[in-house]
Amino acid sequence: MTTALEKKQYFVHSLLAWFRAYQRDLPWRRTKDPYRIWVSEIMLQQTRVDTVIPYYERFLERFPTVEALADAPEEEVLKLWEGLGYYSRARNLQSAVREVRDTYNGVVPDDRQHFSSLKGVGPYTTGAVLSIAYNRPEPAVDGNVMRVLSRYFLIEEDIMKGSTRAHMEHLIREMIPHDAAGDFNQALMELGALICTPKSPQCLVCPVMEQCTGRLEGKEEQLPIKKKAKAPRPEYRIAAMVGSVEGEKPFLIRQRSGQGLLANMWELPHMEYGKGMEELSEAGEQEALARHIQAETGLIVKPHGFLMNAEHTFSHIHWNMKVYAFEIVQQHPLPDHYRWIRKEEMQHFAFPNIFLRIIGARQS
């Protein structure tokens, strides 16, 4: 018979020993700089380690300190974030770093109250940075931790509910070693990433298999309990390649608003055009786009044929996009958020993935 206390002690010690033997050598594990830990945690939100690594290296080469990031132009930060997704993370991070510079004398706060008040810093990031950089005994409950704990302790609560997170945080506070808080939190996540994976967990090599109730009950594949996400809603859009379809000549781009989806990023001019692919004829679509462009820019353009279809799935929206080419009939001075650029100049503008693909596909 094992007591609840023994089950927790076994978990802590087995997990820590395993982590110290098998943890991956990751760039942000080679530093204790709170700023660098912080950057890594923001990039890692909803994003895979392998995706983050090159972004992390480039970002810290360009912005090695709180001051460097605080002083940078926002466009440059966004450009270095291009392709990583969830772009408000970049803006919030820079805003938070500016607050650290202005309010905390450039020193990342080492307590929950101050650090968690910064933009983009929620309960997970608070616990992760404070424990890893400052060894504070704070829980850092992410998806990995929820999965590991729900299996080990057989917690059959919906992990989308706030009360479940509170339950997990309480468990962590009971277990977290005050002399190894960062290692413990990272060990939990590392186990979730390497062994206690969402599908086909590697229970036979798991350091805590002996006491894992989910495994002992044969329920590990059913945990954690989580409601299914809704399917992205479809949207039908028509986009314009105005100007050149070849590499050397300029084409028309515009900047999105500072709020909402893909805030402040650049794109090809485009518009939504109804609920189905058969709303308008091809000629009707080109006419609608030409009017849209003239209304927004004053440019007079003439249809030059169909270019390509493109699809892109965001978390909550699925874009079906038809791209048409246009020639300029009459020039007009552009409003501020429009530009003529050549392909080489794209390095100065941050584009979301779907437009990188469309424009890139035009090149060869």
Partner DNA sequence: GACACGTGGCG
Partner DNA sequence: TCGCCAAGTGT
Interacting residues with DNA (CB under 7 A): 26, 40-41, 44-51, 83-88, 92, 119-126, 128, 142-144, 147, 160-163, 186, 189-190, 192-193, 197-200, 226, 228-231, 260-263, 312-317, 352-354
Choice between 252 and 262, CB closer to DNA: 262
Compare residues 326 and 355 and give the one whose CB is closer to DNA.
355
CB-based contact 343:332 (threshold 8 Å): no
Taking the least distance from each CB to DNA, the nearer of 51 and 255 is 51
Examine the residue annotation and report whether 41 is marked as an active-site residue of this protein: yes
| Other CB atoms within 10 A of residue 354 CB | 21
Identify the active-site residue in 6, 41, 221, 285.
41
**Helical segments of 139-236, H only:** 143-152, 162-175, 181-194, 213-216
Q: How far is the CB of 343 from DNA (least distance, A)?
A: 18
Separation CA 59–CA 128 (nearest Å): 20
Surface-to-core class of residue 10, CB atoms within 10 Å of its CB (0-12 exposed, 13-18 middle, 19+ buried): middle
Q: How far is the CB of 220 from DNA (least distance, A)?
A: 13
Q: Give 184 or 326: the residue with its C-beta nearer to DNA.
A: 184
Give phi and psi for 148, each to the nearest 5: -60, -50
The SS3 call for residue 304 is strand
CB of 65 to DNA, least distance (A): 21
86: region left, alpha or beta (phi > 0 left; psi from -120 to 50 alpha): left
Q: How far is the CB of 35 from DNA (least distance, A)?
A: 15
Nearer to DNA, 186 or 244 (CB): 186
Distances (CA, A) of 163 to 120, 159, 160, 229: 22, 8, 9, 19
Instruction: Give the CA diameter of the chain.
Output: 85
Closest CA to 95 of 253, 347, 263, 345: 263
CB of 45 to DNA, least distance (A): 4
Q: For the chain, what is the radius of gyration of the CA atoms? A: 25
Say if CB 350 and CB 75 are below 8 A apart.
yes
Nearer residue to DNA within complex by CB, 136 or 326 = 136
Question: Rounded to the nearest whole angstrom, what is the least distance from the CB of residue 172 to DNA in the complex?
Answer: 14
Q: Which residues are catalytic?
A: 41
